[in-house]
Amino acid sequence: MTPAELAVKLQESYDKARDLKADFAQVSTVKAMHMTKEGSGRLIIKKPGLLRYSYTKPEKQEIIVKGDDLVMYTPSSNQVIKKTLSRAVLDKTPTTFLAGLGKVTDSFDVRFPASGEKDRSGRYQLELVPKGDGMGVKSVVVGLDPSSFNIVGFSFTDVSGNVNTIALKNVKINEGVRESAFDFKIPKGASLVAE
């Protein structure tokens, strides 16, 4: 299969998915500091543009995208950060990638990564290189289930060489996620920082 053919399969699979629930494991590597951070939790997506990461490790944290609003809540600091970002910015950030992928070949050039067409587990992998302004993203490698071509993981490399990898498991697609799953009520006593 060529990268272009695999991109078509990815697009077909992505277009069929209206919503997604999955457990995730995240590894972030900051190149300049030789530092690696790990996290895990639950991810919920509803297209178009609704996304919620509920981290349980290394500490509890909520990251919610609803429309142009990005909300981050960390219980340990009892602080809510709320930002309004343009859809163009949101669609090209690792956090919101899956909720706003759009048409793959409109936004990205596609190729196989240097490591090959498949990973060690036999899953297809496709490297997406942003066309035009990549908002600081150098490339995205997407891991695909070989039978369904559903996304089972993705890895972002930014222009500084930092890598953010998210692996998905227990993926459930089109189970009828409600929009209310992305509501967030500011906890009593929490400080609000609006940007």
Whole-structure pTM value: 0.85
pLDDT of residue 80: 95
Under CATH, what is the fold of the domain 3-194? outer membrane lipoprotein receptor (LolB), chain A (2.50.20)
pLDDT of residue 49: 83
What is the distance between the alpha carbons of residues 121 and 5, in angstroms, rounded to a whole number? Answer: 20
pLDDT of residue 47: 87
pLDDT band at 95 (very low <50, low <70, confident <90, very high): low
pLDDT of residue 63: 92
Bridge partners, 84 (sequence order):
69
What is the distance between the alpha carbons of residues 103 and 81, in angstroms, rounded to a whole number? Answer: 30
pLDDT in tens, 36-55: 999 999 999 998 889 999 99
Domain ranges for the chain: 3-194
Percent of the chain scoring above 90 in pLDDT: 63
Poorest-pLDDT segment among 26-30, 53-57, 99-103, 112-116? 99-103
Residue 86 has pLDDT above 80, yes or no: no
